[in-house]
Amino acid sequence: MKTSHTSNSQLLNDRARRLLRALVESYVREGQPVGSRTLARTAGLDLSPASIRNVMSDLEEMGLVSSPHTSAGRVPTAQGYRLFVDSLLEVKPLDSHEVRILKERLNPELDTKSLVESASDLLSAVTQMAGMVRVPRRDHAALMQIEFLKLSGRQVLAILVMNKNEVQNRILQLDREYSHSELQQMANYLNEHLAGLDLRQAREQVLREMKAVREHMNTMMLAAIELGEQVFSDQEQDDQVVFTGQIHLMDYAELSSVDKLRSLFEAFTEKRDLLTLLDTCISAQGVQIFIGQESGHKVLDDCSVVTAPYNVGGQVVGVLGVIGPTRMAYERIIPVVDITAKLLGAALNSRN
């Protein structure tokens, strides 16, 4: 879990910690600044409103809460949420019924694309925020067979049959036209040398073949190697991410200004910043939480991002998560993201 400075947590006494926790929980639940009288009722402390106001003043000086101009109540800051998540949060595990529903939706019989889309749909539907899933890295998938289908002119459709339930199609633009017979010969050559390798190994093998002494190869072998290089150098699929439910973000007052929504929807469309953030999570262990400016991307300054990696064959191949306002029910969102990542990995693993 991504953490920040914890020195403030060490400076808080039990009374201040309980009041901060009550304030965060009330604000997340109601969406309204929290006053001292509300805290007196909900914190379970025998304190007068005046005493609570004094503690709130101390918390404000520490940068953990702030006072909106239009209200006498207070709201958590990003720093306050961070302390809450790191030190005060009690995560609530999902019950068996909820886990069963998630598991049914992530059916191993689905192909990879459908599984990824289902996972993103689930994250959005359950959290009522934007769900996202980084498409699995293709390197782990083993190549079973490659075929070439002649299209119009110099265009050829490369069909890569991977582990069961997965077929990848790529349209190639070639330097000259090839007959059906020539394409079949090239496919046979590549299948003989590459079948059973994962995509990373296949790329490396093709590059080795290209560096080999070319006079030892006939024209058809050279053409097959060059065609294979074009197939396996296509990295576009490694840069895919599926987003679902961005429209939910319009329901949160803190994100509802036209400028904020425009910036967020541009980020979803361009994907670059979000892909960069997700890629930093691939090498991390377990659930990661970025609150406000912690993401390092200005467009997410008013958001929180909760992510978790998923594994296939013991290796992390992707990451999924949700984007929502900093005012989110972390105790609920964290286990949803965590279990969805585990179930997606399990569904992908069961087919290998």
Three-state SS for 260-311 is HHHHHHHHHHHCHHHHHHHHHHHCCCCCEEEEHHHHCCHHHCCEEEEEEEEE
> Which residues lie closer than 8 Å to 41 by C-beta, 6 or more apart?
none
Selection from 7-16, 87-96, 166-175, 343-352 with the highest mean pLDDT: 87-96
Q: How confident is the model at residue 221 (pLDDT cuts 50, 70, 90)?
A: confident
Question: Which of 237, 240, 294, 300 lies closest to 266, judged by CA?
Answer: 300
Among 1-5, 39-43, 164-168, 214-218, the least confident range: 1-5
- The alpha carbon torsion through 96, 99, 103, 104 (nearest 10 deg) reads 70
User: What pLDDT is attached to residue 24?
Assistant: 95
* DSSP class per residue in 100-159: HHHHHHS-TTS-HHHHHHHHHHHHHHHHTSEEEEEPPPGGGSBP-EEEEEE-STTEEEEE
User: What pLDDT is attached to residue 6?
Assistant: 47
Structure tokens at 108: 């191993």
Question: Which of 321, 342, 151 lies closest to 242, judged by CA?
Answer: 321
Scanning the structure block, which residue is given the tokens 């509802």?
256
* More confident position, 304 or 230: 304
User: What pLDDT is attached to residue 212?
Assistant: 64
User: What pLDDT is attached to residue 272?
Assistant: 81
Among 27-36, 119-128, 227-236, 321-330, the least confident range: 227-236
Parallel, antiparallel or unpaired: strands 241-244 and 130-134: antiparallel
User: What pLDDT is attached to residue 22?
Assistant: 92
Q: How confident is the model at residue 215 (pLDDT cuts 50, 70, 90)?
A: low
pLDDT above 50: residue 189: yes
284-331 pLDDT, tens per residue? 888 999 999 999 999 999 999 999 999 988 888 899 999 999 999 999
pLDDT above 70: residue 201: yes
Using DSSP's 3-state secondary structure scheme, residue 289 falls into strand
- The mean pLDDT value for 140-160 works out to 83
Q: How confident is the model at residue 5 (pLDDT cuts 50, 70, 90)?
A: very low
Among 3.30.750.200, 3.30.450.40, 3.60.70.12, 3.40.50.410, what is the CATH number of 96-137+260-350? 3.30.450.40
Question: Which of 129, 81, 106 lies closest to 249, judged by CA?
Answer: 129
11-68 pLDDT, tens per residue? 688 889 999 999 999 999 998 899 888 888 887 777 887 888 899 999 999 999 998 8
- The mean pLDDT value for 206-218 works out to 64
262-284 pLDDT, tens per residue? 999 999 988 888 888 888 888 78
Structure tokens at 265: 């929807």
Judge whether 14-88 and 96-137+260-350 match in fold: no
Among 3.40.50.300, 3.90.1170.20, 3.40.228.10, 1.10.10.10, what is the CATH number of 14-88? 1.10.10.10
- Are 37 and 19 in contact, with CB atoms under 8 Å apart? no
User: What pLDDT is attached to residue 140?
Assistant: 60
Report the phi/psi class of residue 281: left, alpha or beta, with left for phi > 0 and alpha for psi in -120 to 50.
alpha
- Mean pLDDT for the chain overall: 85
pLDDT above 90: residue 118: yes
Q: Where are the domains of the chain?
A: 14-88, 96-137+260-350, 142-202
User: What pLDDT is attached to residue 217?
Assistant: 60
- Are 144 and 195 in contact, with CB atoms under 8 Å apart? yes
Q: Chain centroid to CA 212: how far?
A: 40
- The mean pLDDT value for 192-202 works out to 79
* More confident position, 77 or 145: 77
